[in-house]
Structure 1
Amino acid sequence: MTSSEKSIRLTAGTAELTIDPENGCRISGLRIDGTELLRQGERFGCFPMVPWCGRIENGQFRTGDVVHQMPLNSGAHAIHGTGRDTSWRVARTSGIEPEGRAAATESRAAFTYDLGEPWPYSGRVTQTFELAEGSLILTMGVETYDSSFPAQAGWHPWFRRNLGNGDVHLDFSPAWQEERGENSLPTGRRIEPVPGPWDDCFGMPDGVDVTLTWPGQLRLRVTSREEWVVVYDEQDEAVCVEPQSGPPNGLNTLPRLVTPLEPLEVSAKWSWQRL
């Protein structure tokens, strides 16, 4: 993969991570021993979901008596937040100056963007990437110095289904599956997990823990202290394992407030080994 002049490339051992801050601060590539793990294309890679994850019903959420309307970009719903459609700034990092240049060591980088329209509240989002030879740690924070508001955060990776030796196998043991209604949103009823294909949210109260195994190639484990994960495997090209801080439509059904004293902080870890 060829990095653009404005992308940032991190390396650690045989791992190479490419981040595109101008295209939603998404990971545009992750190569292990020269093998690309992520589906390529400007809409793919791995993008941050913030300040909400998944769909908001009819694009609307309420804070008190006020109903907020987000742009509809998934049929009748608003999906995946605004962060993926925003240009992020490189954050100031010790030893790197001035702000706006590549604030990255060889294996670490941090980025920010300020919340704004169409999101109705002010705040700042920070995303950090820490690459090691056998792992990647992702962190994201949402903070406000003004009004409190509900928010969610998470990641939407598009892992390639096949690396050459057969399709990827998913292994995870959720405590429940959120029943999905005809409108593609959770109904509020928890059910026993059913076989895929999925575009579904699962509950893992002890923390997200999903293993992807590409036969004869690589095993990758996605973990997070968050208890929600969406698995999407309805496309031939890729499989998505999305750790997130709440379920789809959670701004309405399970709001988690960001306050001046309590920011929202989420993290996830990808760790891998060759087979």
Structure 2
Amino acid sequence: MRTEHITLTAGDAEVDVLPGNGGRVGGLRVGGTELLRQGERFGCFPMVPWCGRIRDGRFRDGAEVRQMPLNAPPHAIHGTARDGVWKVARHTDAETVLTYDLTEPWPYPGRVTQLVALTPDSLTLTMSVETYDASFPAQIGWHPWFNRNLGDGGEDVRLDFSPAWQEERGDDHLPTGNRIEPRPGPWDDCFGMPGGVDVTLTWPERLELKVTSREEWVVVYDEQEAAVCVEPQTGPPNGLNTHPRLVTPLEPLEATTVWRWTRP
């Protein structure tokens, strides 16, 4: 794993970007306090060209069935780009652009571009998938691991969001296709927010962080002791089969999430 990293700064906010480790955001510090869980597989990684699990690692593209490696048996999970080395296309003090060329085991040529832009009170992540060749289904999303507790004796984070529905989760951790009334956590579940993702994380008396996106799907995972995940994405888990978004030479797939914080 390459250890190259880029640090962006704006005001008292700092972001570490790790091109050699899947193009992930390795850290986000506000006033010196780290908000993301640390470690090689944590931080916030891009999920592309699919999000969450694909049932049995298989998806259909027209009449053809494609098989992805089962990296979370019996399923394939979280795309391929998080395991790759990204290239730095542009870099300034508060902004960087990374690119990743899709390659095997993904069967279609394409390019992913990710913009990471920092201001003193926000982080904006924008990603696109484009092709100049055959069209293909794809998804875009982000998988941040927010620290449940910021230390110094403070309270654990509180989550606040008002989804229109929850995707019923089957025993295989995939949506069954039924939409149900949102249930209390703990969660490893996908929710629908037709007006756009809007989730607030509050560390009482420390910091409030709002995760927003124009996309209508968000997975919330809070079953681990150390961290909680709020994952905006362009479709639900197994979405390459149930809710495909097509990337064509004329229409790339694009998505953005903004994290904005305030302090008391």
- TM-score (norm: length of structure 2): 0.98
Aligned to 2:230: 241
Q: Distance in 2 between matches of 1:130 and 1:20?
A: 14
Relative distance call for 1:5 and 1:67 in structure 2 (3 A) is: closer
Matched, 1:116 2:114: no
Q: Which structure 1 residue ranges, 4+ long, deviate > 6 Å from structure 2?
A: none
**Corresponding residue for 1:202?**
191
Normalized per residue, which structure has more strand?
2
- In structure 2, the partner of 1:193 is 182
SS of the residue 1:42 aligns to: coil
Equivalence map 1:251-270=2 (5 Å): 251-270=240-259
User: In structure 2, the residue corresponding to 1:58 is in which secondary structure?
Assistant: helix
- Aligned residue runs from structure 1 range 117-266, under 5 A: 117-164=104-151, 165-266=154-255
The amino acid across from 1:230 in the alignment is: V
Secondary structure in 1 aligned to 2:82? helix
Q: Which residue of 1 aligns with 2:82?
A: 84
Q: Deviations over 1:202-232 (max 9, x none)?
A: 0000000000000111000000000000000
For the residues of structure 1 that align with 2:108 and 2:184, how far apart are their CA atoms?
39
SS in 1 for 2:218: strand
User: Aligned-pair RMSD on alpha carbons?
Assistant: 0.9
Rounded to whole Å, the distance in 1 between the matches of 2:4 and 2:106 is 26
Unmatched segments (≥5 aa) in structure 2: none
Distance 1:38 1:10 in 2: 15
Aligned length: 261
Once residues 5 and 69 of structure 1 are traced to their aligned partners in structure 2, the CA distance between those partners, rounded to angstroms, is: 31
**% of aligned pairs identical?**
71
Letter in 2 for 1:136: L
Deviations 1:81-103 (A, max 9, x none): 00100000011xxxxxxxxxxx3
Q: Which blocks of at least 5 consecutive residues in structure 1 are unaligned?
A: 92-102
After superposition, residues 61-76 of structure 1 pair within 5 angstroms as 61-76=59-74
Instruction: Note the C-alpha offset of 1:236.
Output: 0.1
**Cα shift at 1:274:** 1.0
